Amino acid sequence: MLDSKLLVIKIGSNVLTQENGLPDLDRMEKLVAQIQALTSLGKKVVLVSSGAVAFGRQAIPLPEKLNPVFKKQIWASTGQIRLINQYQNFFEKHKQPVAQILVTKEDFRDRKHFLNMKNCVQALLSQGILPIINENDTVTITELMFTDNDELASLTAAMINADTMMLLTNVDGIFTGNPSDPDSQLIEKVASKMPEVSNYISASKSSFGRGGMLTKYAMAKKSADLGIQVIIANGKRENVLGEFADKSLRCTWFEPQKAKHGAKKWLAHGEHYYVGEITINEGAKSSLTAEVIRSLLPIGIIKLEGEFSKGDILLIRDETGHKIGLGRAEYSSKVANERIGQKNQKALIHYDYLYIFDHD
């Protein structure tokens, strides 16, 4: 494990709940104390915490037959107050001020909006306030939802340029089979070229989890590729964060790759957010995928789809339809359509705002 200065710690619902479904306040209080111990070592921490629905479900009984969307909205909106109040009480004992930030996928789509959110988190950290982030579950339904809070944590880690992301769940990490099977072994290190890891993971989830280990793995891998070290560990372990600090923690560690800069990290997570699509010719493709990456000029563009404005995310495909990468539009689709295929025109995507997918 590498040293860390700025961490995103994500706590799964099952870490904060007992087997009978009741909130595990003792665990929560211990985790808060351990987070404080990390901050007293000079580390900055942003917390992404699940648990709103689980806390609401226990407090507010609802009829079995009620529409599941209403149930989720009611439990999330009532449970989030309980969750954040508990955090505030526990952090107050350490004289640590906290802030609540509730976000939706939309907040990550628009670069300006994204930068506002990033500035807010940074302003809080600069004043010694600990941000506690959760999804705004009351307004995010189906396609507006993050896959789960593992996705939210990895978007947050990329947004604030965190060096470390910890995903705390109810198992020690990724195992070579079902974690409860004694023959399964913990995978302690995931290096960049280990495609077989996902084969070990089954679709099963803990009783309150949303995404399961597969999304945890996908998000961890993506974050590590962007240069963030990722640790999947057991949040129910007595001194999980203390063991992390002294590097004795039993966990799955994802080795970080060379760090990408901020705008590229934002784009890397843009696969679900693109507004328009561009098809490029072979010459443009070899230029974009070469060692020295160049900007995308209109002369290399064959086709444009969708209406986009300056600043929107665009998906880039080659002539066979294969996805090559993502980029930020320097001008609108209206202007781009006038320049398509022409020489000596300003780049539609500047290389600082271009993210090429890894194709192996």
Binding site for ligand ADP (CB under 6 A): 12-14, 150, 169-171, 174-175, 179, 200-202, 204-206, 208-209, 211-213, 216
Any binding-site annotation on 10?
A: yes
Binding of residue 12 to ligand VHF (CB under 6 A): yes
Any binding-site annotation on 178?
A: no
> Which among 265, 259, 262, 323 has a CA at the least distance from the CA of 289?
323
- Contact 205/50 with Cβ under 8 angstroms? no
Q: How far apart are CA 99 and CA 112, in angstroms?
A: 22
Q: Which does 174 bind (CB under 5 to 8 A by kind): ligand ADP, ligand VHF, none?
A: ligand ADP
The beta-strand segments (E) located in the chain are 6-11, 44-49, 98-103, 130-135, 164-169, 189-190, 229-234, 252-254, 276-280, 301-305, 313-317, 323-328, 354-356
Least Å distance between CB 185 and ligand ADP? 10
Site for ligand VHF in 199-218 (CB under 6 A): 208-211
Q: How far apart are CA 115 and CA 96, in angstroms?
A: 25
Binding of residue 148 to ligand VHF (CB under 6 A): yes
Q: How far apart are CA 174 and CA 204, in angstroms?
A: 13
The beta-strand segments (E) located in 255-317 are 276-280, 301-305, 313-317
Q: Which does 248 bind (CB under 5 to 8 A by kind): ligand VHF, ligand ADP, none?
A: none
Any binding-site annotation on 107?
A: no
Any binding-site annotation on 352?
A: no
Q: Judged by CB under 6 A, which of 34, 73, 86, 134 binds ligand VHF?
A: 134
Least Å distance between CB 208 and ligand ADP? 6
Is the CB of 47 or the CB of 354 nearer to ligand VHF?
47
Binding of residue 24 to ligand VHF (CB under 6 A): no
Q: How far is CA 306 from CA 35, 181, 282, 340, in A?
A: 45, 49, 22, 14
Site for ligand VHF in 309-338 (CB under 6 A): none
Q: Judged by CB under 6 A, which of 34, 114, 135, 296 binds ligand VHF?
A: 135
Instruction: List residues forming the annotated binding site.
Output: 10, 50, 137, 149
Q: Write out the residues near ligand VHF by the rule CB under 6 A.
A: 12-13, 50-54, 76, 134-135, 137, 148-149, 208-211
